[in-house]
Amino acid sequence: MLKKSLLIIFSWLLAQSAAQAILTIEITQGAEGAQPIAIVPFAWKGKGERPLSLKSIIAADLQRSGQFAPLAERDLISKPHSGSEVKYKTWRALNVGYLVVGSITRLQDDSFQVQFQLLDVFKGRQLAGYSIRSLNSGLRRTAHHISDIIYKTITGEEGAFNTHIAYITITRGKDNKKRYRLAIADADGYNEKIIFSSDKPLMSPSWSPDGTRLAYVSFSHGRPEIFVQNIFSAKREKLVSFKGLNNAPRWSPDGKYLAMTLSRDGNPEIYIMNVNSRKLTRITRSYAIDTEPEWLPNSEGLIFTSDRGGTPQLYEIPLRYYRASGRAKRITFEGNYNARASVSPDGRYIAMINRTQGRFRIAVLERESGLFNILTRGKLDESPSFAPNGRMIIYATEERYRGVLAAVSVDGRARQRLSFNKGDVREPVWSPFTMNK
Amino acid sequence: MTKLLRYFIITGIILSLSACDIAPLKKRDGSSAGSDQQNQYSTDGDSTGKYSSGAELSVESLNDPNSPLSQRIIYFDLDSSQVKENDRNIITTHAEFLVAHPDISIVLEGHADERGSREYNIALGEKRAKAVKQLMTLQGVADSQIQVISFGEERPVALGHDESAWSLNRRVEILYTGY
């Protein structure tokens, strides 16, 4: 019997924040051909109150990926808690390919042992079995970790369930004044933590590739400036504050540079700053607006938005040693507006805002083939950001004129909406994988 | 040959003379230039009754709702940072006033509607504000009198989600510092 043991102790270092936003996730379209999987509620082996339901978290994760169709609990024909109790024949009759069983044991007051097994129903054998130690406060993360293991075992690809999203929320206080918050949450919207809050606009968060820092634009001094903040220590530093625009920061894949937009030399141009030395290198030179730089893998180039041809379009400029090494060339030609690029981590796709017939939607360009696909169905969709496994794109949209978040798979087959119970939510950015390593 | 040469010289003199005629329009001193422009623009029709050159307006008129200086918002078309022909006289009035009052300074605040990319909209708001600034500096306002800032789509004045709101949000606001 294949059995690995993992010892994972998650500790959430951030200070607990106040009022939690309540988030609901609605699957607006499941994918055709999603694989049926049965997840049995985990057995509770301990005294006292049963901790939260791992089964519900795992089932929701797998369903959101668009690649799995978890069985409803009422359709479970029996509720085994370990592989040895499973009668494969009866599950085969349900045409369910995979079965997840497990248990939770209390070790001490605040820690648990979680065991689970992933079973292949048709082959009648175990595909994966783990025993994970978890603190009470880390149980949600353990559930996401189990989802990742299931996802990878079956699909062969990395899951992105144990990652985070950063976003901006806007609420109105009793005095009707706007309150802007930079927040992070688990990829399923739970465990919201406020990173920074201001009565002046906040925008354009960008994760450092190690997942420990966020760069963002704050108007807290009355004009746009770029700040970098450690999400654990809350240490905040003003990085860039030239005359004019200090906008659109994006971290290089190696974390040593920030690409950004500055208008200190007249009009908005793309620059690259060495984060340690603060040395600036100018990348673009045009009389038009150049903004929203986004890195290609290995820092081999930048994608950016420019209206040098009339309306905004995406351009690509090659880089060598963090300097421009060739001319910028236009890469989008569909519709009269393409902006705000997000490059998939493998560099295969570019997601963007596309305007066609007055509707702003999220589109994706496959770089090698040039195939262009409009993925979303809104009118004011914006701010696409790839999941670190490249399978999903999270973006901002509106629902009855309120800003909400939504996600769509790169093939457009799976869709979901994440709405908070208060205020507007915008500019979601998906974290890299490495946050908890 | 010499006839042709003389012709060119004379034409050249006439051209440079007419250039001199135009030049005072852009200079600070020309009060007559100011009224020339006034005559030119008062035919546009959206002046508030009696139009006077911005140079003749007092500092108090900044707080007078009937003063032409009370018009402080310039609106823009979709995707555009081009100042519309009709709005040039508003800008001229403010420019004349600022030239006559070099101790007064303004902030030009650029804005965009809510659609599309937030970062592009910040840049577009700045481009709009700079287009207004350029028209003012061409008329003699000192660079140091004008500060440009863009809020992009972050500060709409109209909260609707249709063209009637969007057209009000694509704007540059002229803000007098301290008034």
Q: How confident is the model over B57-77, as pLDDT tens digits?
A: 999 999 999 999 999 999 999
Q: How many residues does this entry show for chain B?
A: 179
CA-nearest of A44, A115, A53, A120 to A86 is A120
Q: Which domain holds residue A266?
A: 165-436
Of A155, A179, A212, the residue at which a domain comes to its end is: A155
Name beta bridge partners: A305: A291, A314
CATH of residue A368: 2.120.10.30
The domain total for chain A is: 2
C-alpha A68/C-alpha A36 separation (Å) is 6
Unique residue bearing structure tokens 């999903």: A392
Q: Are residues A227 and A313 in the same domain?
A: yes
Q: Which residues of A touch B127 (CB under 8 A)?
A: 267-268, 289
Residues of chain A falling short of pLDDT 50:
1-19, 435-437
Residue B15 lies in a domain: no
Please, where are the H alpha helices in chain B? Answer: 2-22, 31-42, 88-100, 118-138, 163-169
Residue A13 lies in a domain: yes
Distances in whole angstroms, Cα of residue A343 to Cα of each of A85, A348, A349, B150: 46, 8, 6, 27
Q: Which domain holds residue B139?
A: 29-176
Q: Are residues A141 and A185 in the same domain?
A: no
Q: What is the pLDDT of residue B51?
A: 53
Across the interface, which of B115, B122, B150 has its CB nearest the CB of A380?
B115
Residue A160 lies in a domain: no
Q: What is the pLDDT of residue A142?
A: 95
Across the interface, which of A224, A337, A426 has its CB nearest the CB of B122?
A224
Q: Do B116 and A312 count as a contact with CB atoms less than 8 A apart?
A: yes
Report angle CA A242, A244, A250 to the nearest 5 degrees: 70
pLDDT at B47 over 60: no
Q: Do B115 and A223 count as a contact with CB atoms less than 8 A apart?
A: no
Q: Do B119 and A263 count as a contact with CB atoms less than 8 A apart?
A: no
Q: Are residues A317 and A421 in the same domain?
A: yes
- Per the prediction, chain B carries an average pLDDT of 80
- Residue A334 DSSP code: S
Three-state DSSP class for A173? Answer: coil
Q: What is the pLDDT of residue B44?
A: 42
Q: Do A380 and B148 count as a contact with CB atoms less than 8 A apart?
A: no
Q: What is the pLDDT of residue B6?
A: 54
Q: Which residues of A touch B116 (CB under 8 A)?
A: 312, 337, 339, 353, 355, 360, 382
The strand pair at B171-176 and A280-282 is best described as unpaired
Q: Are residues A30 and A106 in the same domain?
A: yes
Of A137, A155, A173, the residue at which a domain comes to its end is: A155
Q: Do A222 and B149 count as a contact with CB atoms less than 8 A apart?
A: yes
Across the interface, which of B119, B126, B130 has its CB nearest the CB of A292?
B119
Q: What is the pLDDT of residue B133?
A: 98
Residue of B nearest to A384 (CA): B117
Q: CB count, 10 Å around CB of B101? A: 18
Phi, psi of B11 (to 5 degrees): -60, -40
- Residue A79 DSSP code: -
Q: Do A382 and B155 count as a contact with CB atoms less than 8 A apart?
A: no
Q: Which residues of A touch B150 (CB under 8 A)?
A: 224, 245
CATH of residue A65: 3.40.50.10070
Q: What is the pLDDT of residue B52?
A: 62
Unique residue bearing structure tokens 């004019």: A244
Q: Are residues A321 and A407 in the same domain?
A: yes
The domain total for chain B is: 1
Residue A61 lies in a domain: yes
Q: Are residues A294 and A382 in the same domain?
A: yes
Q: Are residues A256 and A305 in the same domain?
A: yes
Q: Do B119 and A219 count as a contact with CB atoms less than 8 A apart?
A: no
Q: How many Å lie between the alpha carbon of A277 and the closest alpha carbon of chain B?
A: 26
Q: Are residues A59 and A205 in the same domain?
A: no
Task: Report ipTM for this prediction.
Answer: 0.90
Query: What is the number of H-type helices and E-type strands within chain A?
Result: 3, 33
Three-state DSSP class for A8? Answer: coil
Convert the pLDDT of each residue in A44-97 to its tens digit: 988 888 888 999 999 999 988 888 999 999 999 899 999 999 999 999 998 899
Residue of B nearest to A310 (CA): B79
pLDDT at B3 over 90: no
Residue A364 lies in a domain: yes
Of A108, A135, A155, the residue at which a domain comes to its end is: A155
CATH of residue B117: 3.30.1330.60
Phi, psi of A162 (to 5 degrees): -95, 40
Q: How many CB pairs under 8 A join A and B?
A: 81
Residue B168 lies in a domain: yes
Q: What is the pLDDT of residue A324?
A: 97
Q: What is the pLDDT of residue B27?
A: 35
Query: Please, which pLDDT band fits residue B93 given cuts at 50, 70 and 90?
Result: very high
Q: Which amino acid is at A348?
A: R
Q: What is the pLDDT of residue A381?
A: 97
Q: Are residues A209 and A336 in the same domain?
A: yes
Q: Which residues of B touch A427 (CB under 8 A)?
A: 118
